[in-house]
Amino acid sequence: MTASSRTPRLWLAPLIAAGLAGAFALGSWYGGHRVRTMNEWADAQLLSTAIDSVRANAIDSLGSDELIRRAVAGMLRELQDPYAALLRPEGFQRYRGSMLGEGQGMGLTLRREPDAAGVVRVAPGSPAFTAGVRAGDRILKVDAVAVGEAWKRKPGDSTRTFGDSSVLTLWRAPFGDTLRLTVRRTAWHMPAVSEAGLLADSVGYVRLATFTSHAADELEDAVESLLQRGATSLVLDLRGNMGGLFEEGVKSAGLFLPRGVVIASLAGRGGAAPQPHSTRHSRWPNLPLTVLVDGSTASSAEVTAAALHDYNRALLVGTPTYGKGVVQRVVTLSKDLSVRLTTARWLTPKGISLDRRTGNGALAKGGLHPDVLLDDATRRDAFAVPHEWEPAAAARVMRTADSLAMYALREGWSTTPLALLEARLRTTLAQLAPRSARDPLARAEWVTVSTRLALVRILEVERESEALLRYAVREDAALRAGIDVVAPGTEVARVLPAILPAAISRKGLAQSLPLMRP
C-alpha cells in the first residue's frame, strides 16, 4: 500500500509515537531540550507502516482510528502501569474536572435507609443546595423511580439520570411534609474541605477529602477560622483522601512547616537528580497537630502526611496508608485521544519512596505506617446499626428512633445541653423497648442504639453539624486517639514535646503511650 492511498487519519500514528516518546523523556514536572534521533523517527514510521499493513492485509481488519487506539492501548498495557489510561474526550474532561474540583453530581452525601435515601450532607453551592435540599431530608423518588425499589436492584442496574435536571420527591421533618424539588445540573465547585468544627478542649478538626485545585487555600481558610474561634490545636483528617494534585499536597504540608524546607522531591527517568519542592507559604509551624490516616490515604495526601511526619511536626494515627508514590501526566495525542502516564516518582523529605509497587509492577511493602496503630481507623456513620442485626430488626429500630425524633422536634425539645437531650431520649426509649428483648444486654443495646439514632436524626434536621461532629467522636476510635494526642492538659500532650525530637524511628511509641490507645 502506498503512502498516497492511506486513510488520512494514519498521519496520527507517527505523531502519537513521537508524543509518547516525548512524554516518557520529559516526565511530569520536568522541562528542557531534547534532540530527536533518526532512530526515533524510524520507530514512528514503523508503527505507521505496521498499522497500514494490518489494515490492508488482515482478513478481519478495523478502521484506522480503532487500530491506532488499540495500538496505543497495547503500549500502555505493556508498561504495567496501573495508573496509565487511554482517554477519550469525555474521559479527559472527567479527569480534568476531578483535578479542578468540578462537581460531578448533585452534591449530596446519602445514607441508605428503609425505602429512602437519607440526606446526610449537602455540599454548599451544589445543584442540590441551590434547589433547596436540606440535611435531614429523605429522598423517596428520583424522577419516577422509587428509591426503595432502586435499593433492590442489582449493582449493574442504574437509576442515574443523564438529563439536565431531576425531580426529587422528599419527605421533610418534623411534620412529614412531602416536597418535589427540581435539581438542575450546573457547573459547581466541590469543596476540598468536607467538614470542619471545634471539638472539646479547644481542638480544631478539619477533614480534607481531596487535593483538587485550591485545596491548600481551602485548608488554610478552615484552620484560620477555627483558630479565630479559639482552637489551640488541630486534628487533620486525611482518611479516605485518595490524593489529587501533587502541588496541593506540597502547599498543604507547607502551611505547618517552616518556610523553605523540602516537602517532597520528584525523580524522573534517566537517573537525574530528584527535583525538590519546598515550602513557599508557611502559617503555623508550631501549631500542635495530629494527622489521621487509613488504607485509602494515598498520593498527594501521603505527600502531606509524610512531610509532617518526617519533620516531627505531627504523629500519624490510624492504619497504614495506601502507598502511591508516583505522579501522572496527561499527554494530548489528538483532539480525540489523550493518555495518562506515570512520569515521576516522589520521595519523602528523607528520600524514601512510599510506592507499593516495584519497578516491574509487583506489589511491595509501601505507604506510611502510623505512630499510633489502630486495628480499625474507619470513620463510622453515627446513624449505623450493628452489622450483625437482621435487616428487619434494623428497620424497626430506625423507624422507632425516627418517630421519637420527629416528636421531639415538634415538641421543641432543646438540643442544649446535648447530654440532657440524650438522657430524655434514653428514658423515653427505655419505656418503648420491645418486650421480646428479655435479655438485659439485648435490651440495653436496643435502647443505646435507638437513642443514638434518634439523637443523630434530631441534630441532622436541626442542622447542628458541629454538635453532630462532637457526638460522632464516640463512634470514631481514630479521632478519639487523635484528640488525646493534641488536647491541652492530657498526659500525651505534656510528654509529646520531649518525645518527638528523639522519636526518629518511633518504634514502639504507641505502646509507650497507653493513653493514645482507645
Domain ranges of the chain: 3-78, 108-184, 193-373, 391-474
DSSP character string of 313-329 = S-EEEES------EEEE
Q: What integer pLDDT is reported at residue 362 of this predicted model?
A: 52
- What CATH code is assigned to 193-373? 3.90.226.10
Q: What integer pLDDT is reported at residue 41 of this predicted model?
A: 57
Q: What integer pLDDT is reported at residue 489 of this predicted model?
A: 58
Which three cell numbers, joined as nine digits, stand for 368? 506510611
Which contiguous run of DSSP H or E holds residue 228? helix 215-228
Q: How far apart are CA 424 and CA 492, in angstroms?
A: 35
- What CATH code is assigned to 108-184? 2.30.42.10
Q: At what angle do helices 418-432 and 465-472 cross, to 10 degrees?
A: 70
Q: What integer pLDDT is reported at residue 150 of this predicted model?
A: 74
Is residue 169 a contact partner of residue 178, using CB atoms and an 8 Å limit?
yes
Which three cell numbers, joined as nine digits, stand for 394? 434494623
Is residue 321 a contact partner of residue 354, using CB atoms and an 8 Å limit?
yes
Q: What integer pLDDT is reported at residue 188 of this predicted model?
A: 92
Alpha helices (runs of H) in 142-192, residue ranges in sequence order: 147-151
Helix (H, G, I), strand (E, B) or coil at 483: helix
Instruction: List Cα–Cα distances, 265 to 25, 30, 274, in angstroms.
Output: 18, 12, 6
φ, ψ for residue 291, nearest 5 deg: -125, 130
Residue-by-residue pLDDT tens, the chain, 518 positions: 444 334 444 445 554 554 554 443 333 333 333 444 556 556 667 777 877 787 788 777 777 778 878 888 888 898 888 999 999 988 888 888 889 888 878 999 999 888 899 999 999 999 999 999 999 999 999 998 999 877 766 443 334 444 589 999 999 999 889 999 999 988 899 999 999 999 988 999 999 999 999 999 999 999 999 999 999 999 999 999 999 999 999 999 999 999 999 999 999 887 789 999 999 999 999 999 999 999 999 999 999 999 999 999 999 999 999 999 999 999 988 888 899 999 999 999 999 999 987 655 555 678 999 999 999 998 888 888 998 999 888 989 999 999 999 999 999 998 888 999 999 999 999 998 887 656 777 889 999 999 999 999 999 999 899 999 999 999 899 999 999 988 765 555 555 555 454 433 333 333 333 333 33
Q: How far apart are CA 302 and CA 316, in angstroms?
A: 11
Q: What integer pLDDT is reported at residue 350 of this predicted model?
A: 95
Alpha helices (runs of H) in 281-390, residue ranges in sequence order: 300-310
Q: What integer pLDDT is reported at residue 158 of this predicted model?
A: 39
